Amino acid sequence: MTKIQSLRGMHDLLPDQTSTWQYFEKIIAEILERYSYQEIRFPILEQTELFKRSVGEATDIVEKEMYSFDDRNGDSLSLRPEGTAGCVRACMQNGLLHNQTQRLWYTGPMFRHERPQKGRQRQFHQIGVEAFGLKGSDIDAELILLTSRFWKALKIDHAVTLQINSLGTSEDRLRFKDELVSYLTKHFEQLDEDSQRRLSTNPMRILDSKNPVIQTLLEGAPVLADFIDDESRDHFSKVLAVLEAADVPFEINHKLVRGLDYYSKTVFEWVTTSLGAQGTICGGGRYDGLVEQFGGKPCPGVGFAMGVERLVLLLEALDVVPSSVSHGVDVYIVAGSEHTVPSMVLADRLRDQCPTLRIESHCGGGSFKSQIKKADKSGADIALVLGEQELSDGTVGVKYLRKQHPQESVVQTGLADLLNLFFTD
Site stretch for ligand HAM (CB under 6 A), options 81-89, 290-298, 312-320, 398-406: 81-89
Which residue number, 168 or 336, has a Cβ lying nearer to ligand HAM? 168
- List the one residue out of 211, 37, 235, 200 whose CA is nearest residue 129: 37
Site stretch for ligand HAM (CB under 6 A), options 14-22, 123-131, 360-368, 392-400: 123-131
- List the one residue out of 240, 244, 242 whose CA is nearest residue 232: 240
Q: Do the Cβ atoms of 138 and 240 come closer than 8 Å?
A: no
Question: HSE on the CB side for 308, CA within 13 Å?
Answer: 25
Q: Is 126 in the site for ligand HAM (CB under 6 A)?
A: yes
Supply the minimum distance, in Å, between the C-beta of residue 121 and ligand HAM.
5
Give the whole-angstrom CA distance, residue 82 versus residue 242: 28
Q: Is 127 in the site for ligand HAM (CB under 6 A)?
A: no
Which residue number, 236 or 332, has a Cβ lying nearer to ligand HAM? 236
Tally of CB atoms within 10 A around 339: 16
Instruction: Please give the sequence-ordered ranges of beta strands (E in DSSP) within 233-336, or none if there are none.
Output: 251-252, 264-272, 280-286, 301-307, 331-335
| Total residue length of the chain | 425
Residue type at 27? I
By CB under 6 A, the residues from 302 to 321 that bind ligand HAM are 303-307, 309-310
Q: Is 84 in the site for ligand HAM (CB under 6 A)?
A: yes
User: Three-state DSSP class for 282?
Assistant: strand
Total site size for ligand HAM, rule CB under 6 A: 27
By CB under 6 A, the residues from 370 to 389 that bind ligand HAM are none
- List the one residue out of 238, 282, 289 whose CA is nearest residue 263: 289
For the residues of 362-418, what is the DSSP string, one character each?
Answer: --S---HHHHHHHHHHHT-SEEEEE-HHHHHHTEEEEEESSSS---EEEEGGGHHHH
Site stretch for ligand HAM (CB under 6 A), options 212-220, 237-245, 280-288, 328-336: 280-288
Supply the minimum distance, in Å, between the C-beta of residue 412 and ligand HAM.
51
Which residue number, 106 or 332, has a Cβ lying nearer to ligand HAM? 106
Q: Is 83 in the site for ligand HAM (CB under 6 A)?
A: yes
Q: Is 280 in the site for ligand HAM (CB under 6 A)?
A: yes
By CB under 6 A, the residues from 99 to 118 that bind ligand HAM are 112, 114
Q: Is 121 in the site for ligand HAM (CB under 6 A)?
A: yes
Supply the minimum distance, in Å, between the C-beta of residue 65 and ligand HAM.
8
Give the whole-angstrom CA distance, residue 390 versus residue 410: 9
Q: Is 139 in the site for ligand HAM (CB under 6 A)?
A: no
By CB under 6 A, the residues from 316 to 355 that bind ligand HAM are none
Q: Is 128 in the site for ligand HAM (CB under 6 A)?
A: yes
Supply the minimum distance, in Å, between the C-beta of residue 216 and ligand HAM.
26
- List the one residue out of 314, 335, 336, 316 whose CA is nearest residue 325: 316
- The residue ranges that bind ligand HAM (CB under 6 A) are 82-84, 112, 114, 119-121, 124, 126, 128, 130, 259-260, 280-285, 303-307, 309-310
